[in-house]
A and B are shown apart, each in its own frame.
Chain A
Amino acid sequence: MGGATPMEALSRFAVDTPLVLWLLPLALLPFRASAQRVVPVAALDAGPADPLSRAIGWALRIAGSLALAGLIVGIAGPYRRGETVTRTGIGAQVSILVDRSGSMNETFAGRQPSGAEESKAAASRRLLGDFVGSRAHDQFAVTAFSTAPMLVVPMTDRHEAVRAAIRAIDRPGLDYTNVARGLAMSLSQFGAQGGTVSRALLIVSDGAAVIDPRVQGTLRAEFAKIRPNLYWLFLRTKGSPSIADKPAGEDTPQAAPERHLDLFFKSLGTPYRAFEAEGPEAVAAAIRQIEALERDPIPYTEQRPRRDLSWVAFGVALLGLLVLVAGKLAEADVRRGRRGIPQAAEAPSERIAA
């Protein structure tokens, strides 16, 4: 926007029917002919020079020209093209990956919610909803996953849409947790934009699953390319193993998927934090922390819709016409004065003749 040259600024304007613009030379007519009643005089220099009169004369001509030009341009239907403006604000690209497995419908206590209790999904919905609205220039993408990943909202700065998507995450979940495919999709949400943007991948889940070692390689490559700040909001059900807990038995991914997912994330080499939340307050605290961490300049795009500009043209025409009407009303009635004299002079002679 700031670096736009005049030509670029001009190229944003367009008209519906450009053919009408061929009439524009008509706008020069007021400089040849006048709408005022013309008084023929023997010599122009009869009167003294008068700057005010000269100014009024030019004003009338310009007003006539403007009126014609305004009408013609107005009829042609001018508008400013819709455009996408890139600006810089404070915020981050946040890709939210939400677990939609069936266990999210349970409370933090691991039961079906009843009465005033709220499910893990409902709590995360409430808190994430606040997170989304808090900063104007954040961009969000929402991906849900259970067995298969679901693209809910692509990366966008339309917070209303994002909030709507988040409002939908407490719909009853289904099936199992397949983290790997969800991660892959939420990573793909970042798109190919430049590396200056602060990117955050926020995983909200209440459990983990084994990531296939074959997929792990692909994910690693993706993470290395995009380098998002990784936040794992682990909604831990009371009594279930923590991220750090070593299982009593065999320490395999199958036995302790949370721990091994955590280890996998740590091994990625990207900034990574895990928040283990055992209740809504803990979730809120975790989200506040994320909010505070992600503060970087972010270029964001703003959509400007096509704007109809014919009112400007018609307004200019109206202004010109008003000036012209004022000029017309201020016209001196020279003719009547002239006609009056011969009549007055002839009337007595007729009376004498009679």
Chain B
Amino acid sequence: MTVLDAAPADAAPADAGPEADIVYRPRGRVPGTAVGAHRGRDAGGLGTFRDQVPFLRMPDARRIDVRATLRDPFEGTHVRRFESRTAIEVWALVDLSASMRYRGAADRMALAAALCGGLAASATRIGDGFGLMGCDGTLREDVSMPATRRRGIGASVRARLLAARCTGARADSMREAARRLVGRPKIVFVVSDFRWPEALVAEVFAALARHDIVPVVLADASEDEDLPAWGLMELDDLEGAGRRTVFMRPALRRRWLAHERARADTLRRIAMTYGRPPFRLEGRFEADALTRHLIGT
């Protein structure tokens, strides 16, 4: 409905120009055998030089480092090892609870769709797989997508998310989604407004602990900075928790902002335990900002 109306308008600038890739770097070395773009844990015969090992550890006569062998006073034979480039799977766990229908300065679902579309395009371009899981009360099979390395899925991912109906009142299936992500460590983007109980946040992060978690907080200026200083507001919970009248005044606004900050701090504290601070996606999706965040943290 409104989500669909707004989507082209928000998505148009991203489509118009050459879309900037989201550049990411996994934490540590990536295990696995699939050839990709990231530093692998395994050493192989191709790639960038990693170290030298005695011949007996890697009996590969083609890689004998002559210089090192001659230099060794104990006359050992050395072999060069090269770092393999490995692919990693990128997963986006998208909260599809009703609160994601929120429209402030920007449409929350449009932001999420733009992010995931960009992520899918960027990941598949460098040979990484991209998988998607939509979560509300139950895992949303209509939205979810197994990891694929097929290129050019960005648009379909975006369309999938824009078409998704957000009706659930909870995001509990994030736990199940975390359980489904078995196997080798992956990069997991948790895309949500994180208006969850603190226990659920901690639980989901703990379940995803073996992966490289990138929390993406969908925020909106109208939820904090742009709150009016004076006036009556009748708040209606998108998740069906009822209505509430708020008489906004400077004192309450200050408390409100402090409350929001405290919530953000809690999330940050939990996220930092697992490696990365949350990325605040607000107003409009910019791939460069996300890249800076991913490289910088």
Contacts and interface: CB of A to CB of B under 8 A. Distances in A.
B238 A338 contact: no
Contact of A42 (B106, B195, B248, B283): B195
B232 A330 contact: yes
- Report the contact-size class of chain B (Cβ under 8 Å from the partner): 35 or more
A334 B228 contact: yes
Contacts of A333: 228, 231
A188 interface: no
B230 interface: yes
Nearest to B255: A48
Interface string A184-200: 00000000000000000
Interface secondary structure of B, over-half rule: mixed
Interface string A85-101: 00000000000000000
A53 B244 contact: yes
B246 A50 contact: yes
A226 interface: no
Contact of B248 (A60, A332, A338): A332
A10 interface: no
Nearest to A346: B13
A41 interface: yes
Contacts of B176: none
Given A331-B231, A341-B226, A53 B247 contact: yes
A39 B234 CA distance: 6
Contact of B234 (A36, A50, A54): A36
Given A40-B102, A42-B223, A337 B232 contact: no
- Report the contact-size class of chain A (Cβ under 8 Å from the partner): 20 to 34
B244 A44 contact: yes
Contacts, number: 129
Nearest to A332: B231
A349 interface: yes
B226 A337 contact: yes
Given A47-B256, A327-B232, A341 B223 contact: no
B236 interface: yes
Given A56-B247, A330-B231, A338 B104 contact: yes
A342 interface: yes
Contact of A34 (B222, B226, B243): B243
Interface in B85-118: 99-106, 108
A36 B245 contact: yes
A37 interface: yes
B247 A338 contact: no
B225 to A, nearest CB: 10
Contacts of A42: 99-100, 102, 108, 193, 195, 223, 238-239
A332 B99 contact: no
Contacts of B25: none
Contact of B221 (A41, A43, A332, A341): A341
13 contacts: A36-B234, A36-B245, A38-B235, A39-B236, A41-B237, A42-B102, A42-B238, A46-B223, A46-B256, A46-B263, A47-B259, A333-B231, A334-B231
Given A42-B99, A338-B222, 15 more contacts: A37-B234, A38-B236, A40-B101, A44-B237, A46-B223, A48-B255, A53-B252, A57-B234, A57-B245, A330-B230, A330-B247, A334-B233, A337-B226, A341-B105, A345-B283
